[in-house]
Amino acid sequence: MLQPGAVKDERQANVQLPPSAVEHMQAVVQRSEAAGDSRVMDVGAGTGILLRFLQGAGVKQEKYVGVDLSSVMVDVASKRYPHATFLKADFLDYCGDHLSSGGEGFSHVFFNGCLHNFLEPGEALSGAAKLLKEGGKIVISHPKGAANVNMQRRSNPLLVPNRLPTAADLEKACGAIPSLKAAGMQVQDGGQRRSGLGYLQVLQRP
């Protein structure tokens, strides 16, 4: 995931997911409606855990781009999924480079377990909105939920500078952040997960 500091070795990058996390990831992909023709951006991609589940929905490695700050995780992910694109990059820098070069848009931008680590989450959402094709979605999720993030933030506000946004926060952002407003982004019905601890919100461009 997109967090300060590098992973010290590959053992840390290959931890098996607990059943609750597997259930959450399956719910994220199902809710996103990503499929075989989807072009996906995975922010804070880590070792490519999300891609494992996206492939189950038919998403092709060749249509996936993952960015992460950890060179170790990017290296592990690139070896695991050789036909996908993994980049050691800051997401906001990537957005600027991609837009200036006229790169192809994405049908989905995922923030799985990382949006709260951005100093300015609104800037991250703004960048994501600019990358989307018509009908595209921003998917914000966390396997341990908002309460867990709040606890982490109280323990270490430098590492976790923000909480996860509520549906009301996102509604407000869609009307206040210029790029979200210009794209007509809307919070999808369904809101946060109603079972388990996982957090899941989806914004969609008409």
Global pTM reads 0.90
Higher pLDDT, 138 or 191: 138
CA atoms of 44 and 59, how far apart (whole Å) = 18
pLDDT above 70 covers a percentage of the chain that reads 89
What whole-number distance in Å separates Cα of residue 4 and Cα of residue 143?
19
Query: Which of 7-11, 26-30, 118-122, 126-130 has the weakest average pLDDT?
Result: 7-11
> Do 133 and 165 touch, CB atoms closer than 8 A?
no
Tens of pLDDT, residues 153-196: 999 999 999 999 999 999 999 999 999 999 999 999 755 554 45
Distance of CA 2 to the CA centre of its chain: 9
Is pLDDT larger for residue 77 or for residue 103? Answer: 77
Q: Domains along the chain? A: 23-204 (3.40.50.150)
Residue-averaged pLDDT of the chain: 90
- Tell me the H-state helices in the chain: 19-32, 49-56, 71-80, 91-100, 121-131, 145-155, 167-176, 178-183
Residue 131 · residue 111 · CB < 8 Å: no
